[in-house]
Amino acid sequence: MKIIDLNYGENYKEEIDLKHYLENKLAESLGIPNNQILLNYGCNSNLLLFISTFSELFLYKKKRRVKVLLDLPNYFFTLTQLQQWHVKEISIKRDINFNLPFKKFIDKIKTAKPDIVIVTTPNNPTGKPVSDEQIDRILKTVSKETIVFIDRSCVNTLHEISSKEILSKYKNNKIVIIRSYSKSHSLSDSRVGYMATNNSGIAKLLRPKADLNHNLHALKKFKSVMNNHKMVDEKRKTLTECNKHVKEYFDTLSDTKYYQSYSNFAVIKLPVEIKSDYVEQFMKKNKVLVMGGHRIGLGENFIRIHMSSVAGIKKFLSVYKMMIKNIKY
């Protein structure tokens, strides 16, 4: 017999029930209570929820801005949210090869005593992961009151410690992990991601702010792939092959540099006479979209590319070669 729903709207109960079911399954897979995970609209919505909550908390209770340490460059959305929520940003800039100057990062934890440390791994836009050993050192360096916020939106082609192990191994730390399924399971059109914590106090703060709504079709799509580890393995293979093609070509050029990536994104330094805005426009005319460095804080001598598919990367390389030929001849 069909239930006549006079409590919610049409199909709303199905949506809520499915969301709770998926949260329970995710919590079970991470080894945490089901009230310590939030399923939301991808990592951006989770980041916004987290930053806004602790910004308000510190301004109201401690009468000061919350101090957040992170490395640069980083997600453009992350940086804009830190600005909009009046966070006191403490940053460590990556070196000329976009590697994390880890000693400086650890020293800054000790001297600045941040309230929150953001670890973006792999990093966007550089595609460079933070190693397991580095995560371990960070967690052993921060105070017990410092929240370590680990952004795992991008796929890591290198071996990495699981989120479940992080949450269970470092029980004395306050840890928050966000993960998106946009890049690992090709769900960019569905916007699904979670935020999980091993700390009940943090969960108590975040849970009431959760958006109860979601897209039913997106949830059904997510349910069908959430445990498909083969998709992730295939994605890693694709990213590895994409990066291989990019490296092979740009290593032949003396005036251009590709920075080794192990993820969905990679950065390329352009010849000094070519600016990122020109590359963007030329690529767009030839049906290829890239991100100019001038848009994301890298500067006009860089572009960021996304490793969506091997065919897509081959198309990019073909258009880039054509562009270079047109400029030189």
Query: What's the rounded Cα separation, in Å, for the pair 166 and 31?
Result: 11
Residue 7's Cβ-count burial label (10 Å; 0-12, 13-18, 19+) is: exposed
Name the average pLDDT for the chain: 93
Query: What residue segments make up the domains of the chain, in order of their start?
Result: 12-227, 230-328
Token code pair at residue 164: 């479940």
Answer whether 121's CB lies under 8 Å from 156's CB: yes
Query: What's the rounded Cα separation, in Å, for the pair 73 and 69?
Result: 12
Query: Kind and range of the H or E element at 275?
Result: none
Token code pair at residue 194: 């979670």
Q: What's the distance, CA 52 to chain centroid? A: 18
pLDDT over 90, % of the chain? 81
Task: Among 60-74, 152-166, 208-222, name the one with the lowest average pLDDT.
Answer: 208-222
Token code pair at residue 109: 């934890």
Q: Which of these CATH numbers, 3.90.1150.10, 3.50.50.60, 3.20.20.10, 3.10.180.10, describes 230-328?
A: 3.90.1150.10
Confidence of residue 10 (pLDDT cuts 50, 70, 90): low
Q: What torsion, rounded to 10 degrees, do the Cα atoms 137, 140, 144, 148 define?
A: 20
Query: What's the rounded Cα separation, in Å, for the pair 216 and 17?
Result: 10
Among candidate residues 187, 256, 162, the one with its CA nearest the CA of residue 41? 187
In this model, does residue 109 exceed pLDDT 70? yes
Given the structure tokens 């490296």, which residue do they identify? 247
Query: What's the rounded Cα separation, in Å, for the pair 228 and 150?
Result: 23
Answer whether 112's CB lies under 8 Å from 67's CB: yes
Given the structure tokens 């990556």, which residue do they identify? 94
CATH code for 12-227?
A: 3.40.640.10
> Dihedral sign, CA of 297, 298, 300, 303?
negative
- Give me the residues paired with residue 276 across strands: none
Confidence of residue 15 (pLDDT cuts 50, 70, 90): confident
* Three-state DSSP state, 194: strand
Q: What torsion, rounded to 10 degrees, do the Cα atoms 17, 193, 203, 67 define?
A: -160
Query: What's the rounded Cα separation, in Å, for the pair 156 and 123?
Result: 10
Quote the pTM value: 0.94
Query: What's the rounded Cα separation, in Å, for the pair 256 and 212?
Result: 48
Query: What's the rounded Cα separation, in Å, for the pair 222 and 228?
Result: 10
Question: 189-215, pLDDT tens digit by residue?
Answer: 778 889 999 999 999 999 988 776 678
Query: Helices H, strands E: what count in the chain?
Result: 11, 11
Confidence of residue 218 (pLDDT cuts 50, 70, 90): confident
Mean pLDDT of 270-292: 96
Mean pLDDT of 218-226: 90
Residue 140's Cβ-count burial label (10 Å; 0-12, 13-18, 19+) is: exposed
Query: What's the rounded Cα separation, in Å, for the pair 217 and 100?
Result: 40
